[in-house]
């Protein structure tokens, strides 16, 4: 059924690993937080969304720490003159670096508020719970909305603010043997690819990808899946079609999307994600990252699947129909 003589299917897999945040250099991020009127919050940090969903993740983290709801959090996020340094939006560092900075800043703001109310209530601050817009002392009938709590806190002259810096302790590589501690958090992942190869045209279709990735702790599982699915399709492009080319004078021959071929809706495999959670012990959240790590396995898994299907090893990317046909012809030649 899956080998009609012309079209052949196969499966391949690949494993991979990745370090989280800046490489071989100490990394840091800062954040400010304030529990605001109406039981809302302001969180300020110097980096914004590049599409991965960081603003939502930060709102979830701040809401969880402060006992309010994500939609109550306003994030001031993108301005070197108005926000603390959070450095770059890259290196799979946003959730890890900025997420933890926001968690710590939000925790400080929340604790400032709680200590004022604890004094009013005459209960230990540690006993007070905050969640989903409410504050209460278990075992008592003491309960306030966060809106009331903020108002009472301000009534005694305290603005509940917090700030924090989060550090990832990385060292440079030795210039001779490369030894060093480039990251403190690592993630591991692996993917299986199933392909169909048309041996007459050389065309490869990726029909399924199964992707298992450790993310430490998934703050937003749907967001993690979105990162995996996007990375996989970028990997499909790199494995099979994308190729920026230059002529012998350094001029591009792929100047637009008519010549530079990208995966479209019709090229994408079905993607099944498995989220593995091995919490990071060195950070308050335990979360690591997924933006980049999810694309290291896709291309080799596909190329290994092509080998499984037709017994040819493509060692040059991308595995275009021309390269597949050439490899098949050379295999036939060797066999003859």
Partner 1 sequence: MPKITIQTTVNGRSVSKDVDPSLRLLDFLREELYLTGAKEGCGAGECGTCSVFVDGVLMKSCLMPAGKAQGTTIETVEGLAERNRLTVLQQAFHKTGASQCGYCIPGMVMAATSCLRGNPHASLDEIKEHLGGNICRCTGYSKIFEAVELARDVLNGSVPATALQEDAFKDSFLGANVRRLDAPSKVTGALKYAGDMTMPGMLHLQVLRSPHAHARIVSLDTSEAERMPGVEAVVTSADVPGVDGYGVFIHDQPVLARGKVRFVGDAVAAIAAETVAQARDALEKIKVVYEELPAVFDAEEAMKPGAPLVHEGNTDNICQHIPIRKGNIEDGFAKADVILEETFRTQRVEHAYLEPEAGLAYVEPDGTVTIHSPSQNITHHRHMLAHILAMPINKVRMIMSPVGGGFGGKEDMIYQGILALAAIKSRRPVRYVFTREESILVSAKRHPFVMRLRMGLTKDGRITATHMHSISDGGAYALSTPGVMRKHCILGAGPYEIDNVRIDAYGIYTNNTPSGAFRTFGAMQSLFATESMMDMAAEKLGLDPFEIRRINAMRDGAVTHTQQKLGSVSMLQVLDTLEKGSRWQPGVPNGRGATRDDLGGPGTRAPCTLGVRLRDTSDVAAE
Residue whose CB is less far from partner 1, 46 or 160? 46
How far apart CA 132 and CA 191 sit, in angstroms, is 38
Q: How many CB atoms lie within 10 A of CB 193?
A: 32
Q: How many CB atoms lie within 10 A of CB 114?
A: 24
Strand blocks (E) in 203-269: 204-214
Smallest separation, CB 303 to partner 1 (Å): 6
Residue whose CB is less far from partner 1, 125 or 234? 234
Selecting among 147, 242, 292, 326, the annotated active-site residue is 292
Which whole-number Å values give the CA distances from 25 to 80, 102, 199, in the listed order? 22, 21, 48
Residue whose CB is less far from partner 1, 113 or 239? 239
Smallest separation, CB 313 to partner 1 (Å): 7
Smallest separation, CB 114 to partner 1 (Å): 18
Partners of 191 in beta bridges: 14, 211
Residue whose CB is less far from partner 1, 177 or 333? 177
**DSSP-derived 3-state class of residue 276:** strand
Smallest separation, CB 163 to partner 1 (Å): 17
Catalytic residue flag (residue 292): yes
How far apart CA 39 and CA 42 sit, in angstroms, is 10
Catalytic residues: 292
């Amino acid at each position: 059924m899956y080998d009609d003589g012309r079209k052949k299917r196969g499966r391949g897999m690949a494993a991979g690993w990745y370090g989280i945040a800046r490489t071989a250099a100490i990394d840091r991020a800062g954040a400010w937080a304030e529990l605001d009127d109406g039981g809302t919050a302001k969180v300020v940090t110097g980096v914004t969304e590049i599409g991965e969903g960081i603003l939502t993740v930060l709102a979830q983290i701040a809401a969880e720490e402060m006992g309010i709801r994500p939609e109550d959090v306003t994030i001031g996020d993108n301005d070197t003159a108005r926000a603390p340094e959070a450095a770059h939006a890259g290196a799979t560092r946003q959730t890890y670096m900025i997420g933890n900075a926001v968690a710590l800043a939000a925790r400080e703001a929340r604790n400032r508020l709680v200590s004022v109310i604890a004094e009013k209530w005459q209960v230990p601050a540690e006993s007070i719970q905050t969640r989903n817009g409410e504050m209460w002392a278990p075992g008592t009938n003491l309960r306030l909305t966060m809106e009331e709590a903020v108002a009472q806190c301000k009534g005694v002259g305290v603005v509940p603010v917090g700030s924090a810096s989060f550090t990832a302790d990385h060292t440079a590589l030795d210039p001779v043997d490369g030894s060093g501690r480039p990251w403190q958090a690592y993630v591991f992942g692996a993917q299986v690819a199933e392909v169909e190869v048309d041996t007459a045209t050389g065309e490869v279709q990726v029909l399924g990808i199964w992707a298992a990735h450790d993310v430490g702790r998934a703050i937003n599982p749907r967001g993690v899946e979105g990162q995996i699915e996007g990375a996989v399709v970028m990997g499909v492009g790199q494995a099979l079609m994308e190729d920026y080319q230059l002529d012998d004078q350094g001029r591009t021959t792929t100047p637009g999307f008519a010549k530079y071929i990208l995966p479209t809706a019709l090229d994408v495999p079905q993607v099944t994600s498995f989220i593995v959670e091995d919490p990071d012990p060195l950070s308050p959240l335990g979360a690591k990252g997924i933006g980049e790590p999810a694309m290291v396995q896709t291309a080799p898994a596909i190329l290994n699947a092509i080998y499984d299907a037709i017994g040819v090893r493509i060692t040059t990317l991308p595995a275009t129909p021309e390269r597949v046909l050439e490899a098949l012809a050379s295999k036939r030649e060797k066999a003859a």
